[in-house]
Amino acid sequence: MRADARDNRARIMTAADDVFGRSPGASTDDVAKLAGVGIATVFRHFATKTELLEAVLTLRLERIRDRALELAGSDDPGTAFFEFFTQVVSESASKLAIAEALTAAGAAAGEEAREAGRGMREAFSGLLAAAQKTGAVRADAEMPEVYALLIGASRGATAAKLDPETRDRMLALIYDGLKPPR
Amino acid sequence: MRADARDNRARIMTAADDVFGRSPGASTDDVAKLAGVGIATVFRHFATKTELLEAVLTLRLERIRDRALELAGSDDPGTAFFEFFTQVVSESASKLAIAEALTAAGAAAGEEAREAGRGMREAFSGLLAAAQKTGAVRADAEMPEVYALLIGASRGATAAKLDPETRDRMLALIYDGLKPPR
DNA sequence: GTATAAACGGAGTGATGACTTCGAATATAT
DNA sequence: ATATATTCGAAGTCATCACTCCGTTTATAC
């Protein structure tokens, strides 16, 4: 691959991340304009709009997974778990917009993005298990409902455009429910 | 207004509620077909697609508010509060699809729908206050974050397509956080 | 420096969907 | 029963957007 091509590919992904993160309904033209390339260049690198969206979403998911893996090394698993939870919720807005764009623009996520999602959930599951082992999180909470809480808090914060204080108060309520009964 | 016109208007609203509740991206044609009328009839009753969506959303919100007002008469405010919360979350899927369609199809909700939303929140706020007075819900939880939880749980349940058991387990966690600290 | 293969941009193309037009149909008042 | 005002539906119009074509430009191998 020629150097300029690789360069453009990277610029397109960055632009797409930005544009779709802001408004899921954005057109491919918008992405091309922000990236400073022609629209044909976008389609040369990503055969369909869906493919582009998937690439962007996959990257996001991998970044989150990496963050979880990083925190998994912590010697305070309780704090690590809650910190990760909080971080994912705070950064959810743009991520969700992209996922939404994907579902809107035809069918569910493809294999690549699904695999990335699996990896992310696995890493999160590890954080949860560790936090439960130290007693920071109640032992009878299982992954499906805890994950549902993570998704719910993220979507809720995004949808309601919560200011940070309200968001933190909401998270505090959730965390109280996640802690072991006293 | 002629009888057949009023009839058609009602059929169109029912059809729209159904169609948009299922898939936010649906076209006006789809609504017309399900309603069994021509597309022009739809546009005669609702000048724009947005207007139609608003009418449907408003109706939904009013129904929810009525449910809350009904429960406000209960002599067990704690149960009433949690029952309402659970019910809203269970029925969220289609409601959210409509709200989503509205934001997708241009701009935020209009005055009518906003007013309906206000009424709904007010009724919910009443349920919360009553439940707090009897000690069923912790007193230091305030409306904004509790409402955020309601939205979040709804969106989370919808987005993750939770099966009923997982949804109930998630709600149980949330309710534990909402109950007074023991 | 030049040849050439690869990448580029912008002007199409076709499909979709919101909205309009207008002649046909139908409810109600007389 | 008939007049007429109102409502109806099907076939348009127009804009938007994903995607393609092709002549031009540019990076790199020699």
CA-based nearest residue to A179, from A129, A132, A122, A123: A132
Q: Which pLDDT belongs to residue B123? A: 96
Asked if B103 reaches chain A (Cβ–Cβ under 8 Å), the answer is no
- Whole-angstrom Cα distance, residue B134 to residue A163? 29
Binary contact (B167, A148; C-beta < 8 A): yes
Distance from CA(B92) to C1'(D29), angstroms, rounded? 62
Average pLDDT, chain A: 92
Alpha helices in chain B (DSSP H): 3-22, 28-35, 39-45, 49-72, 77-90, 92-104, 111-133, 143-159, 164-178
User: What is the band of A32 on the pLDDT scale with cuts at 50, 70, 90?
Assistant: very high
SS in 3 state form for B142-180?
CHHHHHHHHHHHHHHHHHCCCCHHHHHHHHHHHHHHHCC
Q: Which nucleotide is nearest to A41 (CA to C1')?
A: C8
CA-based nearest residue to B101, from B46, B52, B62, B65: B52
Q: Which pLDDT belongs to residue A55? A: 94
Average pLDDT, chain B: 91
User: What is the band of B98 on the pLDDT scale with cuts at 50, 70, 90?
Assistant: confident
CA-based nearest residue to A15, from A1, A29, A34: A34
Q: Which pLDDT belongs to residue A111? A: 84
Q: Residues with Cβ < 8 Å from B140, sequence gap 6 or more?
A: none
In this complex, the residue of B25, B152, B169 whose CB is nearest that of residue A145 is B169
Tokens of B42: 């739809």
A41 touches strand C (CB under 7 A): yes
CB B51 within 8 A of CB B109: no
In this complex, the residue of A148, A167, A182 whose CB is nearest that of residue B160 is A148
In this complex, the residue of B149, B151, B181 whose CB is nearest that of residue A159 is B151
List bases in chain D with any atom under 7 Å of a protein Cβ.
6-12, 16-22, 26-28
More confident residue, B4 or B150: B150
Q: Give B-chain residues touching A155 at CB under 8 angstroms.
A: 151-152, 155-156, 159
Q: Which of A31-40, A65-74, A107-116, B131-140 has the lowest mean pLDDT?
A: A107-116
More confident residue, A24 or B12: B12
pLDDT at B158 over 90: no
More confident residue, B68 or A160: B68
Region A23-33 average pLDDT? 93
Q: Which amino acid is at B126?
A: G
pLDDT at A161 over 90: no
Q: Which amino acid is at A138?
A: R
Q: Residues with Cβ < 8 Å from B55, sequence gap 6 or more?
A: B13, B16, B46, B112
pLDDT digits (tens, 9 = 90+) for A69-81: 999 999 999 999 9
pLDDT at B104 over 70: no
pLDDT digits (tens, 9 = 90+) for B25-84: 899 999 999 999 999 999 999 999 999 999 998 998 999 999 999 999 999 999 999 999
Domains of chain A: residue spans and CATH: 1-47 (1.10.10.60), 57-178 (1.10.357.10)
User: What is the band of B97 on the pLDDT scale with cuts at 50, 70, 90?
Assistant: confident
When computed from its CA atoms, the radius of gyration of chain A, rounded to whole angstroms, is 18
pLDDT digits (tens, 9 = 90+) for A122-138: 999 999 999 999 999 99
Preferred mutation among B145, B167, B171 to probe A, highest tally of A CBs within 10 A: B145
Asked if A64 reaches chain B (Cβ–Cβ under 8 Å), the answer is no
When computed from its CA atoms, the radius of gyration of chain B, rounded to whole angstroms, is 18
